[in-house]
Structure 1
Amino acid sequence: MKNSFLGTFRRSQLRECQLKQLSILKEVDRICRKYNLIYWLDGGTLLGAIRHKGFIPWDDDLDIAMPSDDFEKFKKIVQKELPESLFFQTKETDPSTPHHFAKIRDLNSFFVEYGDDFTKPYQKGIYIDIFCFVDYPPFPKKILSFLSRNISKSISILEKKRSFDELKSVCEVPYFILKYILLYPIWYFCNLFKGGKYQSFQVRDNALGVVHRKEVIYPLVKGFFEEIEFPIPFDSDTYLKDQYKDYMVLPSEEKRQIHAIYIHANLNK
């Protein structure tokens, strides 16, 4: 039976969740300006900035991206710059986290997603995602998209907790092991060639096979998000089409769903 009380409570928490995410973004922006580091709004956050001038009304996450060199510098300074209420979460700072990309978590909140493991003590507060962007090799875009999409999916499937009492679970493991074994050496070989004109997520994070031309990203410009200017890609239209195709078309009503299972935006309340 669907729990309508839980759904109502979750919706009541959404705007406060978004405002907490915005406050985290402001901290990141402050740090990046202080140390002259590059970052930009990415994914649904960039889509929200262009289509809604702020959060997508039903969205409960916030995404930014950083080039790998800047991300490595950011990792070394971020925790000492953040207030005590915020935590920079990676495999190094929070070993039991299942996430392999970085997050900044608000410690005075609780945010539950599908797949969260309550047998492990990793931080589960409201967060923003930080994706590290790397150079892609100088090969046709369709090849890069095919390889990154399928390698990412293979890794995701193989890392997923599963029960082997279903035929699908029994069959998909050897299938995706074989796919990974076949495709990753090709990806490794391609990356021996430097100087590509493309940049995107690290391959394990690139589930959609998104590949951006560098001139679409740089030089960064300013765009409004929740009435505040933040860095966005130079050609946001092409950037968003790379990821979402016809991004200005709103999804159907049934697809406008909050992703979280439970949100408690302020543990003091």
Structure 2
Amino acid sequence: MKNQFLSQYVADNLRACQLKQLSILEEIDRICQKHRLTYWLDGGTLLGAMRHGGFIPWDDDIDLGMTLEDLQKFIEIAPSELPEGLFLQTPQSDPSSKEPIIKIRDLNSMYIESSDTFNAPYQKGLFVDIFPFIDYPSIPKSWVKKLTKGISTSYSILHAQHYYSLRAFLEFFYFSAKYGLFKGIWSVLCLLYKKDTYLSNVLINNGYGIMHRKDSVFPISEIAFEGKMFKAPANPDAYLKDLYKNYMDIPPKEKQKIHAIYIHPELMKKP
């Protein structure tokens, strides 16, 4: 049964959550501009900027895109550039984290999703997601969708928490084989087809088979988000149509859901 008191608590803390995430975004923007690294608002964050001028009213995260090359540079630079209280979370910096997504976490907060594991010691503060983008071969979208869905689903299952059973044993071998096969096919296609027209998220994060034309992303532009200017794709309209089709349509009330099941924007008051 849904706990109405907890749901109301999360809703009451949503705006404080958004503003703290905005402050993280400002730090990322500062570092990227200082070191001439390219990023752009992605996903629901770009949608919010276009449709609402800021956060989607019920959204509780920020999504950014970076080229894989620039993200690798950012990972090297960020630990020494981030202010105290912000943490670059990667599989290397926080090995108990189960997600492959790069996050900048605020350590003086807590953000819990339904998939979180309380007894695992990974950092669970409010965050901004940064997704690495790579070049895609110019192949039919149906091929991309089939391959990326198979790769991302297999990866998720192989890296999920497992319990010993015959089914888990069989699943491990099935999805290991599927992951290896689909990755191999992708590698061959990358050799056979040019990669000068499209880019998108790395395969394990692209279960929907999204592809963007490079000329809809570059050269990077700017867009207003919460009263401040941040980096955006060259053609936000085309970019968002790739993701959501009729992105200006407001979804029905039952689909306006906050991701978190618990938000605590500030654990300790600063003196």
- The answer to whether the superposition gives a TM-score over 0.5 is yes
Equivalent residue for 2:131? Answer: 131
Correspondence 1:58 to 2:58: yes
Equivalent residue for 2:184? Answer: 185
2:103 & 2:32 partners in 1: Cα distance? 15
Equivalent residue for 1:86? Answer: 86
Q: Sort the Cα spacing of 1:6 and 1:166 in 2 relative to 1 into closer, same or farther, 3 A.
A: farther
The answer (yes or no) to whether the contact 2:219–2:234 under 8 Å persists in 1 is yes
Equivalent residue for 1:5? Answer: 5
> What is the CA distance between 1:159 and its match in structure 2?
2.3
Q: What CA deviation, in whole Å up to 9, does each residue of 1:40-65 have, x standing for no partner?
A: 00000001000111000000110001
Equivalent residue for 2:106? Answer: 106
The answer (yes or no) to whether the contact 1:131–1:201 under 8 Å persists in 2 is yes
> What is the CA distance between 1:163 and its match in structure 2?
5.1
The answer (yes or no) to whether the contact 1:139–1:196 under 8 Å persists in 2 is no
Correspondence 1:24 to 2:24: yes
Equivalent residue for 1:47? Answer: 47
**What secondary structure, in the 3-state scheme, does the structure 1 residue paired with 2:100 have?**
coil
**What secondary structure, in the 3-state scheme, does the structure 2 residue paired with 1:123 have?**
coil
> What is the CA distance between 1:9 and its match in structure 2?
0.9
Segment drifting more, 133-142 vs 252-261: 133-142
The answer (yes or no) to whether the contact 2:223–2:229 under 8 Å persists in 1 is yes
Residue identity in the other structure for 1:179: K
Equivalent positions of 1:139-178 (< 5 A) are 139-162=139-162, 176-178=175-177
Correspondence 1:15 to 2:29: no
Residue identity in the other structure for 1:188: S
Residue identity in the other structure for 1:258: I
TM (norm. structure 2) is: 0.92
Segment drifting more, 147-156 vs 135-144: 135-144
Residue identity in the other structure for 1:252: P
Cα RMSD, aligned residues only: 2.0
2:164 & 2:254 partners in 1: Cα distance? 32
> What is the CA distance between 1:173 and its match in structure 2?
5.5
Correspondence 1:33 to 2:38: no
TM (norm. structure 1) is: 0.93
The answer (yes or no) to whether the contact 2:221–2:231 under 8 Å persists in 1 is yes
User: Identity of aligned pairs, percent?
Assistant: 50
Q: Where do 5+ consecutive residues of structure 2 fail to align?
A: none
> What is the CA distance between 1:118 and its match in structure 2?
2.1
**What secondary structure, in the 3-state scheme, does the structure 1 residue paired with 2:54 have?**
coil
Q: Sort the Cα spacing of 1:221 and 1:254 in 2 relative to 1 into closer, same or farther, 3 A.
A: same
1:81 & 1:170 partners in 2: Cα distance? 44
1:180 & 1:206 partners in 2: Cα distance? 14
**What secondary structure, in the 3-state scheme, does the structure 2 residue paired with 1:91 have?**
coil
> What is the CA distance between 1:17 and its match in structure 2?
0.3
The answer (yes or no) to whether the contact 2:147–2:182 under 8 Å persists in 1 is yes
The answer (yes or no) to whether the contact 1:145–1:211 under 8 Å persists in 2 is no
2:176 & 2:91 partners in 1: Cα distance? 24
Equivalent residue for 1:262? Answer: 262
> What is the CA distance between 1:115 and its match in structure 2?
1.5
